[in-house]
Amino acid sequence: MLYQVADYARGQLDSSLAWLKTLPVKCDQFTVTGKDGSTRTAQVIETSLPKAGDSRQGLRLTLQGPVGGKPATLTLDLAAVRLGTNAIAVTNGGLGGTEADSTQQAVTLGTQRLKDVLADKTPGQHDPALKDRAWR
């Protein structure tokens, strides 16, 4: 799982979230051709995210095709959450699939952590039960 935080211009964030929202329609399914000529089928679907931040967008990318001559499926969940002019992005997945619950939990905790940092609080300060699980 990859968790990132960044500060952007508000318009840029809104544009990026709007663009992400179009991907399940514009790129719902397509074929990728590797350097060796092998093909992989990609599918992009929208996923639901917990109500966190000011706006959010979730996607799941599934890529099926050969890896080392054997069939494989790569599944990646992407979650982007805007909080004012700040954003978190969570990427979760791999060849073994992904757990949507893990992505959703990372969105919830990550958004709260960003709120805490922006309020000059120590992450986890809002909930004593989470202090031992503070993100390091």
Given the structure tokens 């799982």, which residue do they identify? 1
With 0-12 / 13-18 / 19 or more C-beta atoms within 10 angstroms meaning exposed / middle / buried, residue 21 is middle
Domain boundaries, the chain: 2-133
Q: Which fold has domain 2-133?
A: Alpha-D-Glucose-1,6-Bisphosphate; Chain A, domain 4 (3.30.530)
Per-residue pLDDT tens over the stretch 13-64:
899 999 999 999 999 999 999 888 889 999 999 999 999 999 999 999 999 9
Per-residue pLDDT tens over the stretch 66-114:
888 899 999 999 999 999 989 999 999 999 888 889 999 999 999 999 9
Q: Which residues contact 4 (CB under 8 A, 6 or more apart)?
A: 88, 89, 90
Decide: 122 and 21 in contact? Cβ < 8 Å: no
The DSSP annotation for 7-18 comes to E--HHHHHHHHH
Q: Please, which residues bridge with residue 91 across strands?
A: 2, 78
